[in-house]
Protein backbone atom coordinates (compact mmCIF):
# COMPACT_ATOMS: atom_id res chain seq x y z
CA UNK A 1 0.00 0.00 0.00
CA UNK A 2 1.20 3.47 -0.69
CA UNK A 3 1.61 6.06 2.06
CA UNK A 4 -1.38 8.28 2.70
CA UNK A 5 -0.52 11.95 2.15
CA UNK A 6 -2.50 14.77 3.79
CA UNK A 7 -2.59 17.85 1.65
CA UNK A 8 -4.01 21.19 2.80
CA UNK A 9 -4.35 23.84 0.15
CA UNK A 10 -2.48 27.01 1.11
CA UNK A 11 -0.80 25.39 4.16
CA UNK A 12 2.02 27.33 5.77
CA UNK A 13 5.48 25.76 6.10
CA UNK A 14 6.15 24.61 9.69
CA UNK A 15 8.91 27.16 10.23
CA UNK A 16 6.46 29.97 9.53
CA UNK A 17 3.60 28.36 11.41
CA UNK A 18 5.47 27.65 14.66
CA UNK A 19 5.76 31.31 15.84
CA UNK A 20 2.04 31.78 15.25
CA UNK A 21 1.21 28.71 17.34
CA UNK A 22 3.48 29.89 20.18
CA UNK A 23 1.94 33.39 20.10
CA UNK A 24 -1.55 31.93 20.19
CA UNK A 25 -0.65 29.97 23.31
CA UNK A 26 0.55 33.05 25.21
CA UNK A 27 -1.80 34.98 27.50
CA UNK A 28 -3.00 38.26 26.04
CA UNK A 29 -1.37 40.18 28.91
CA UNK A 30 2.02 38.67 28.12
CA UNK A 31 1.74 39.76 24.53
CA UNK A 32 0.76 43.31 25.52
CA UNK A 33 3.72 43.57 27.87
CA UNK A 34 6.14 42.15 25.31
CA UNK A 35 5.03 44.71 22.76
CA UNK A 36 5.12 47.78 25.03
CA UNK A 37 5.04 50.43 23.74
CA UNK A 38 3.28 49.94 20.44
CA UNK A 39 1.61 53.37 20.32
CA UNK A 40 1.99 56.89 21.69
CA UNK A 41 2.64 57.42 25.41
CA UNK A 42 0.83 60.32 27.10
CA UNK A 43 2.47 62.23 29.96
CA UNK A 44 0.10 64.47 31.91
CA UNK A 45 1.53 67.62 33.51
CA UNK A 46 -0.79 68.89 36.29
CA UNK A 47 0.40 72.47 35.84
CA UNK A 48 0.15 75.09 33.13
CA UNK A 49 2.41 75.18 30.09
CA UNK A 50 5.61 77.11 30.68
CA UNK A 51 5.91 76.29 34.38
CA UNK A 52 9.18 74.74 35.53
CA UNK A 53 7.44 71.36 35.94
CA UNK A 54 6.16 71.58 32.36
CA UNK A 55 9.62 72.44 31.00
CA UNK A 56 11.19 69.52 32.87
CA UNK A 57 8.50 67.14 31.61
CA UNK A 58 8.96 68.23 28.01
CA UNK A 59 12.76 68.17 28.24
CA UNK A 60 12.82 64.59 29.52
CA UNK A 61 9.59 63.19 28.07
CA UNK A 62 10.18 64.18 24.48
CA UNK A 63 13.68 62.67 24.52
CA UNK A 64 12.21 59.39 25.77
CA UNK A 65 10.73 58.96 22.28
CA UNK A 66 14.13 57.87 20.99
CA UNK A 67 14.39 54.82 23.24
CA UNK A 68 10.70 53.93 23.34
CA UNK A 69 10.35 54.12 19.58
CA UNK A 70 6.93 55.76 19.91
CA UNK A 71 5.69 59.36 20.20
CA UNK A 72 5.48 60.87 23.69
CA UNK A 73 2.69 63.42 24.00
CA UNK A 74 2.77 66.03 26.77
CA UNK A 75 -0.70 67.06 27.97
CA UNK A 76 -1.20 69.95 30.40
CA UNK A 77 -4.09 69.41 32.84
CA UNK A 78 -3.66 72.24 35.40
CA UNK A 79 -6.03 73.24 38.15
CA UNK A 80 -7.10 72.61 41.74
CA UNK A 81 -3.58 72.40 43.14
CA UNK A 82 -2.65 69.66 40.60
CA UNK A 83 -5.63 67.51 41.65
CA UNK A 84 -7.24 67.51 38.18
CA UNK A 85 -4.19 66.09 36.44
CA UNK A 86 -3.45 63.59 39.19
CA UNK A 87 -7.02 62.29 39.19
CA UNK A 88 -6.94 61.90 35.41
CA UNK A 89 -3.99 59.53 35.62
CA UNK A 90 -5.17 57.72 38.76
CA UNK A 91 -8.31 56.69 36.85
CA UNK A 92 -6.56 55.89 33.56
CA UNK A 93 -6.13 52.36 32.23
CA UNK A 94 -3.02 50.86 33.91
CA UNK A 95 -1.21 49.89 30.73
CA UNK A 96 1.80 52.23 30.76
CA UNK A 97 0.42 54.58 28.14
CA UNK A 98 -0.83 57.29 30.53
CA UNK A 99 1.64 58.77 33.04
CA UNK A 100 1.98 61.88 35.16
CA UNK A 101 4.97 64.06 36.00
CA UNK A 102 4.14 65.34 39.46
CA UNK A 103 5.57 67.83 41.98
CA UNK A 104 5.84 67.06 45.74
CA UNK A 105 2.73 69.09 46.55
CA UNK A 106 0.60 66.74 44.46
CA UNK A 107 2.17 63.53 45.76
CA UNK A 108 3.15 64.20 49.38
CA UNK A 109 1.24 67.30 50.53
CA UNK A 110 -2.26 67.10 49.03
CA UNK A 111 -3.00 63.80 50.82
CA UNK A 112 -2.28 65.56 54.12
CA UNK A 113 -4.37 68.69 53.66
CA UNK A 114 -7.43 67.67 51.62
CA UNK A 115 -10.20 65.72 53.32
CA UNK A 116 -11.79 64.42 50.10
CA UNK A 117 -8.90 63.97 47.72
CA UNK A 118 -10.03 61.91 44.68
CA UNK A 119 -6.83 59.86 44.69
CA UNK A 120 -4.56 58.11 47.15
CA UNK A 121 -0.84 58.44 46.44
CA UNK A 122 0.19 54.99 47.66
CA UNK A 123 -2.92 53.12 46.50
CA UNK A 124 -3.54 54.68 43.08
CA UNK A 125 -0.04 55.22 41.68
CA UNK A 126 2.97 53.11 40.78
CA UNK A 127 6.30 54.96 41.07
CA UNK A 128 8.41 54.95 37.92
CA UNK A 129 11.32 57.28 38.68
CA UNK A 130 12.22 60.50 40.44
CA UNK A 131 13.20 62.69 37.52
CA UNK A 132 14.80 65.69 39.23
CA UNK A 133 15.63 67.25 42.55
CA UNK A 134 15.31 71.02 43.01
CA UNK A 135 17.35 72.94 45.56
CA UNK A 136 15.56 75.03 48.17
CA UNK A 137 17.24 78.07 49.69
CA UNK A 138 16.57 80.34 52.67
CA UNK A 139 16.71 83.98 51.56
CA UNK A 140 16.18 87.26 53.40
CA UNK A 141 15.79 90.88 52.47
CA UNK A 142 19.25 92.51 52.87
CA UNK A 143 17.80 95.01 55.36
CA UNK A 144 17.23 92.16 57.81
CA UNK A 145 20.15 91.79 60.25
CA UNK A 146 20.57 88.10 59.46
CA UNK A 147 23.64 86.37 58.01
CA UNK A 148 23.02 82.78 59.10
CA UNK A 149 20.26 80.35 60.07
CA UNK A 150 21.17 80.81 63.72
CA UNK A 151 20.81 84.58 63.30
CA UNK A 152 17.37 84.00 61.80
CA UNK A 153 16.28 81.77 64.68
CA UNK A 154 17.58 84.30 67.22
CA UNK A 155 15.71 87.17 65.58
CA UNK A 156 12.51 85.11 65.40
CA UNK A 157 12.74 84.45 69.14
CA UNK A 158 13.09 88.16 69.81
CA UNK A 159 10.06 88.94 67.64
CA UNK A 160 7.64 86.04 68.25
CA UNK A 161 4.86 85.87 65.68
CA UNK A 162 6.04 89.06 63.97
CA UNK A 163 8.73 88.09 61.46
CA UNK A 164 6.88 87.67 58.13
CA UNK A 165 7.78 84.97 55.64
CA UNK A 166 6.06 84.60 52.29
CA UNK A 167 4.91 81.49 50.43
CA UNK A 168 3.04 80.47 47.30
CA UNK A 169 0.03 79.46 49.38
CA UNK A 170 -1.16 77.55 52.43
CA UNK A 171 0.45 74.09 52.69
CA UNK A 172 2.75 74.90 49.78
CA UNK A 173 6.34 73.66 50.12
CA UNK A 174 7.43 77.24 50.90
CA UNK A 175 4.97 77.34 53.77
CA UNK A 176 5.80 73.91 55.16
CA UNK A 177 9.54 74.52 54.93
CA UNK A 178 9.05 77.63 57.06
CA UNK A 179 6.97 75.62 59.52
CA UNK A 180 9.69 72.96 59.65
CA UNK A 181 12.31 75.61 60.47
CA UNK A 182 10.07 77.13 63.14
CA UNK A 183 9.25 73.82 64.79
CA UNK A 184 12.86 72.63 64.96
CA UNK A 185 13.97 75.94 66.46
CA UNK A 186 11.01 76.46 68.77
CA UNK A 187 10.09 79.79 67.21
CA UNK A 188 6.96 81.32 65.71
CA UNK A 189 7.03 83.40 62.52
CA UNK A 190 4.19 85.10 60.63
CA UNK A 191 3.16 83.16 57.54
CA UNK A 192 2.01 85.35 54.62
CA UNK A 193 0.47 83.27 51.78
CA UNK A 194 0.33 84.54 48.18
CA UNK A 195 -1.23 83.27 44.98
CA UNK A 196 2.04 82.00 43.61
CA UNK A 197 5.75 82.23 44.22
CA UNK A 198 6.37 85.29 42.02
CA UNK A 199 4.29 87.81 44.03
CA UNK A 200 5.83 86.49 47.24
CA UNK A 201 9.32 87.12 45.87
CA UNK A 202 8.26 90.58 44.71
CA UNK A 203 7.22 91.52 48.25
CA UNK A 204 10.41 90.05 49.64
CA UNK A 205 12.39 92.34 47.34
CA UNK A 206 10.40 95.36 48.52
CA UNK A 207 10.77 94.47 52.19
CA UNK A 208 7.07 93.74 52.75
CA UNK A 209 8.22 90.22 53.61
CA UNK A 210 11.43 89.43 55.44
CA UNK A 211 12.14 85.79 54.68
CA UNK A 212 11.38 83.06 52.14
CA UNK A 213 12.08 79.34 51.99
CA UNK A 214 11.93 78.88 48.25
CA UNK A 215 13.27 77.23 45.13
CA UNK A 216 16.70 78.41 44.05
CA UNK A 217 15.70 79.19 40.42
CA UNK A 218 13.10 81.71 41.57
CA UNK A 219 15.65 83.89 43.39
CA UNK A 220 19.10 83.16 41.91
CA UNK A 221 19.23 86.37 39.85
CA UNK A 222 18.35 88.48 42.91
CA UNK A 223 20.95 86.78 45.08
CA UNK A 224 23.64 87.41 42.48
CA UNK A 225 22.62 91.07 42.11
CA UNK A 226 22.64 91.60 45.88
CA UNK A 227 18.92 92.33 46.09
CA UNK A 228 18.45 89.28 48.33
CA UNK A 229 20.78 87.51 50.75
CA UNK A 230 21.07 83.72 50.72
CA UNK A 231 21.42 82.36 54.25
CA UNK A 232 21.60 78.62 53.49
CA UNK A 233 20.64 76.01 50.96
CA UNK A 234 18.34 73.30 52.27
CA UNK A 235 19.74 70.39 50.30
CA UNK A 236 22.16 67.73 51.45
CA UNK A 237 25.06 69.41 49.65
CA UNK A 238 26.06 72.85 48.46
CA UNK A 239 24.67 74.02 45.15
CA UNK A 240 27.10 74.59 42.27
CA UNK A 241 25.01 77.67 41.47
CA UNK A 242 25.88 79.19 44.88
CA UNK A 243 28.95 77.28 46.08
CA UNK A 244 29.73 79.86 48.76
CA UNK A 245 26.40 79.38 50.56
CA UNK A 246 26.47 76.72 53.30
CA UNK A 247 23.95 73.94 53.68
CA UNK A 248 21.53 73.86 56.60
CA UNK A 249 23.47 70.90 57.97
CA UNK A 250 26.71 72.89 57.87
CA UNK A 251 24.88 75.66 59.72
CA UNK A 252 23.97 73.19 62.46
CA UNK A 253 20.37 72.56 61.38
CA UNK A 254 20.44 69.28 59.46
CA UNK A 255 16.78 68.68 60.32
CA UNK A 256 15.47 71.32 57.93
CA UNK A 257 16.71 69.61 54.79
CA UNK A 258 14.12 70.22 52.08
CA UNK A 259 14.07 69.89 48.32
CA UNK A 260 11.63 70.26 45.53
CA UNK A 261 11.43 67.44 43.00
CA UNK A 262 9.59 66.01 40.04
CA UNK A 263 8.65 62.38 39.57
CA UNK A 264 7.09 60.13 36.97
CA UNK A 265 4.19 57.92 38.08
CA UNK A 266 1.85 55.46 36.39
CA UNK A 267 -1.58 54.21 37.45
CA UNK A 268 -1.42 51.44 40.03
CA UNK A 269 -1.53 48.02 38.39
CA UNK A 270 0.62 48.99 35.42
CA UNK A 271 2.63 45.91 34.30
CA UNK A 272 6.11 45.77 35.78
CA UNK A 273 7.71 45.27 32.35
CA UNK A 274 6.28 48.63 31.24
CA UNK A 275 7.36 50.31 34.49
CA UNK A 276 10.90 49.03 34.12
CA UNK A 277 11.16 50.10 30.48
CA UNK A 278 9.93 53.59 31.32
CA UNK A 279 12.34 53.84 34.26
CA UNK A 280 15.30 52.82 32.10
CA UNK A 281 14.38 55.51 29.59
CA UNK A 282 14.18 58.21 32.27
CA UNK A 283 17.55 57.11 33.69
CA UNK A 284 19.10 57.23 30.21
CA UNK A 285 17.66 60.58 29.21
CA UNK A 286 18.57 62.52 32.38
CA UNK A 287 22.23 61.58 31.82
CA UNK A 288 22.33 63.25 28.40
CA UNK A 289 24.50 66.41 28.58
CA UNK A 290 22.00 68.59 26.73
CA UNK A 291 19.19 67.48 29.04
CA UNK A 292 21.37 68.14 32.09
CA UNK A 293 22.13 71.65 30.81
CA UNK A 294 18.43 72.45 30.37
CA UNK A 295 17.54 71.10 33.80
CA UNK A 296 20.39 72.99 35.49
CA UNK A 297 19.00 76.25 34.11
CA UNK A 298 15.82 75.41 36.00
CA UNK A 299 17.85 74.82 39.14
CA UNK A 300 17.09 71.11 38.89
CA UNK A 301 19.47 68.19 39.32
CA UNK A 302 18.88 65.00 37.28
CA UNK A 303 18.07 61.92 39.39
CA UNK A 304 16.64 58.97 37.46
CA UNK A 305 16.08 56.72 40.48
CA UNK A 306 14.60 53.21 40.29
CA UNK A 307 10.90 52.55 40.97
CA UNK A 308 11.84 50.99 44.32
CA UNK A 309 13.99 53.96 45.31
CA UNK A 310 11.33 56.44 44.25
CA UNK A 311 8.65 54.55 46.15
CA UNK A 312 10.73 54.62 49.34
CA UNK A 313 11.38 58.34 48.81
CA UNK A 314 7.65 59.08 48.46
CA UNK A 315 6.85 57.20 51.67
CA UNK A 316 9.58 59.13 53.50
CA UNK A 317 8.22 62.45 52.18
CA UNK A 318 4.69 61.59 53.31
CA UNK A 319 5.91 60.70 56.80
CA UNK A 320 8.09 63.79 57.07
CA UNK A 321 5.46 66.32 56.06
CA UNK A 322 2.69 64.59 58.03
CA UNK A 323 4.54 65.50 61.22
CA UNK A 324 4.91 69.11 60.12
CA UNK A 325 1.24 69.42 59.11
CA UNK A 326 0.02 67.93 62.39
CA UNK A 327 2.28 70.12 64.51
CA UNK A 328 1.49 73.29 62.58
CA UNK A 329 -2.27 72.98 63.05
CA UNK A 330 -2.96 73.56 59.35
CA UNK A 331 -6.69 73.02 58.80
CA UNK A 332 -7.67 70.38 56.30
CA UNK A 333 -9.26 71.71 53.13
CA UNK A 334 -12.69 70.37 52.05
pLDDT tens-digit series, residues 47-68: 888 877 888 999 999 999 999 9
CATH 3.40.190.10 intervals, the chain:
135-256
pLDDT tens-digit series, residues 82-109: 999 999 999 999 999 999 999 998 999 9
CATH 3.40.190.150 intervals, the chain:
39-133+260-328
Residues 11 and 67 sit within 8 Å (Cβ to Cβ): no
Q: How many CA atoms lie within 13 A of 225 on its CB side?
A: 7
pLDDT tens-digit series, residues 164-187: 999 988 888 899 999 999 999 999
- In CATH, which superfamily holds the domain spanning 39-133+260-328? Bordetella uptake gene, domain 1 (3.40.190.150)
Strands 72-76, 41-45: pairing kind: parallel
What is the band of 24 on the pLDDT scale with cuts at 50, 70, 90? Answer: low
- Alpha-carbon distance of 191 to 162, in angstroms, equals 9
- The CATH number of 135-256 is 3.40.190.10
Note the pTM of the prediction, 2 decimals.
0.79
- Alpha-carbon distance of 262 to 258, in angstroms, equals 14
Residues 156 and 190 sit within 8 Å (Cβ to Cβ): no
Amino acid sequence: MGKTRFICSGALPWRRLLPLLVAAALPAGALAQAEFPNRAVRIVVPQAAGASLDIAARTVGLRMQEGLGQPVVIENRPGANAIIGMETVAKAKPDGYTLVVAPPSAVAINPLVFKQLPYDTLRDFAPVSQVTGITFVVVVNPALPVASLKDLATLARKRPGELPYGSAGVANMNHLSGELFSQLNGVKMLHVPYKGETPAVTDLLSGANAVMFTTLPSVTQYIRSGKLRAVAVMGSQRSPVLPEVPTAAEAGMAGITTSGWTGLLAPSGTPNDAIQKLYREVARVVKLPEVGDTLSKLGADPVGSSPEQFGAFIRAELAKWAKVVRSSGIELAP
